Structure 1
Amino acid sequence: MYLWTSSSQIKEMARTCSDFELTMRSITMIIFSSPYRMTKLSLSANIPVKHRDVRTAQLCPLPLNLLECSLCINFFPYRDGPVDSQWNVSYSDSRFSDWSSNPFGVGMYGHEPTMQKSSHNTTLIGAYALLEWAGTGVWFYGTMRNGEYTIQIDDGIPSSGDGAIDGVLFGQDGLAYGFHKALINVTGNTEMSSITGATITVGMGESGTVRLQRTINATVNSGSLAANPLFVVNDGSEWSAETLYGNQSHPYPCIATSITGSSISFNLNESVGFALYGSDDYQQGLFVVNYSPRSQWTELNQLKFIATGMNQSQTYNVDITNLGANFNLASVVVYSAIPSPGNSKSISANSLASAPLPKPSSALLPVSRSLDTGAIAGAAIGGFVAVLIVAVLVVLAIRRRRRQQEAAALLTVPTISDLLPCGMSQTQRKEVAQSEICGW
């Protein structure tokens, strides 16, 4: 199936896929940056006949924080330029008049974390930002005057915003899990309107699981830079391992192509989501499912695409095709979910992700000996009683731990680690924090 631009097509395709018994489900997204610059990303999964509809599973809600410069947020009529005719990207230590080929935005959160975050600003009435995602909630942050902007969720009626100063412009949770779009539209210009970021709530793993995270770099360096062999260059395609911006202070290793039609693919298993990261600059495209020009500034480690709500038990093939723009990929962050161990609080997701599975050792293997029938029976009964006692203790410990977690969730704000950097204050984070119902 091919999706070209509209979120309504995505919704319709999702309904269609869930109504049929498929042996393969394949989704192809055409990601536009301008009428002449676009990239195709397809995601296919081998799913058995009578597969479970992922929408009916009890997915864990997870808040993802997005900087306004994230490529998941689309700005219209243009992403960057004069503030009175479009949106303008601003940094604490960079002025638009200082722009030149491939400059880094100085003061952008992530480069200098102690400095002010970047923002998108405009005085143009009718300018708007669009965010599309699969999940249940959305929040926008920034500065706008009361009554000088509207918010629209999906095909609902636009509502007037209450205004905020470097705070929450709008927030809504409790949407039915599925594909949604949120549009924030500027309707007045008494003062400059500014967007500094957003948060979306997505589904990542089922209830009772622990989220794990691993990063797959697109390049490897064993004496010389090369493409990670996990990424398969498809027939007739040209990709190369490159270090971008090497003449500046932030050299950036990645795989890249400028050839139309070039594609790469890779497989993922035991995954509930993944995210693609790369840089954005005036030669790159904005990889969203709508038209929107590219940024004039160079921005590293930008989220280019994220998929959530995937089936942990399936194997997925991801295919990325360049259809006319320069495209680079630096890393893939993969998310998986395993049953909560429910034992020691000292066990963290990172330690579980990095710890190798134990291998049998000959020194620990049992030694064969002859035992009489009475000894065997006694050993069996004793072993059974010991196992029973241990099982009861484990169950009691798990129940006690769950009661402690539930009580703590009522008293404190959950400490869910963010997938994406965000310049929100602690107060803003508390406003969008979700309950720790997944044991994260």
Structure 2
Amino acid sequence: MQRTLEANFDGLVGPTHNYAGLSFGNVASQNNENSVANPKAAARQGLRKMKRLADLGFAQGVLPPQERPSIRLLRELGFGGNDAAAIAKAAKEAPELLAAASSASAMWTANAATVSPSADTPDARVHFTPANLCSKLHRAIEHEATRRTLTAIFADPARFVVHDALPGTPALGDEGAANHTRFCAQYGAPGVEFFVYGRSEFRRGPEPKRYPARQTFEASRAVAQRHGLADDATVFAQQNPDVIDAGVFHNDVIAVGNRGTLFCHERAFVGAQTVYDELRAKLAARDAPFDVIEVPDAQVSVADAVSSYLFNSQLLSRAEGSQVLVVPQECRENPWVAIYLDDLVAKPGPIGEVLAFDLRESMKNGGGPACLRLRVVLNDAERAAVAPGVWIDDKLFERLDAWIERHYRDRLAPADLADPALLDESRTALDELTQILGLGSLYDFQR
């Protein structure tokens, strides 16, 4: 009998991890602008989360960083000469563009793509659509490399389909799985895919006033159509524009779901009860249970949820069916959130355990445990078809830990992005990494 599981593929933090404050609407990113970063610590914190979850029996893979600074972007923006000259010219004339070209934001692999498993698709293949991320320059340059990486890891065309990103227009702004959740009875059974958007280009309706809504209804609908999802297997919901204005730039900052459980804030959605009712009805048609754990604003405010990243957590199912909530350490340091979590696990319910991780370097740039991972449901045959070198185990952990020690700086300020040696260091590291992971020539400089 074929088993099906949910694998998590975490992004390995890149060598140019820095705090340039590029993400308007992301409160943590803006608040830590121009701070000094520690790329080595950031990469190690993320790697240790991966290893701990692998040790607990969860399927855990790794996605490599992208090449940064992006010389391709600098050349497209008119900075000529050799690589060092292009970096120097950008640093002098447009440091904000050099910062965008140097961002390590591809570490947030929840934004890498939207994934539909073979149990939901008409051709019984796993479908990936890389996100165009067109709302931010530093992220809009990621999708081509993301497609290349996913194609290398999920290479069997009989089992996997890696699409191109949607056209990069505001009407089709797509932020990937940060706004997508799949509910089901069992991973291998047909499920209901939940798409959350911030605004609609053509339907209009309520929109935030302070910060941009990055995901559009039109993009979510296009991804569902591209993956061949049936109408009775999809639910579209609008994110509450007021919480976007409070710093909830993606749905995964205000809600997380897994199997038959949605854990969310009471202010997460427009018309929340109607959303819950539609999810419950469509899941009932698939003989799947559905529970909503709605956190009252009186117990945890939106501000506390944003500062602690309570909902940017991973909700994982153990083999026996119990669920584990993986949260950042900040949740234990916020008194209101800590009290809520203690009460949550003390009473009967689907979530029986909370695990806290130190991800401070990532958190300061505006992302917690859920931002760092892309969920991919795989049956045994599909898992066997994944590139074997990306699965975290003792051996790969030790190799990656040593690789980080050799190649990463422990201090990186925004001014250091002008150092041409950073590009050489990054390329040397990435060239070695592709050999460690067995992925061939992924990067432009390798081709």
Structure number with higher relative contact order (C-alpha < 8 Å, ≥ 6 residues apart): 2
Fold match (TM-score > 0.5) = no
Give 1 or 2: higher helix fraction.
2
User: If each structure's strand is expressed as a fraction of its own residues, which one has the higher value?
Assistant: 1
TM category (shorter chain) comes to under 0.3
Higher-Rg structure is 1
TM-score by length of 2: 0.22
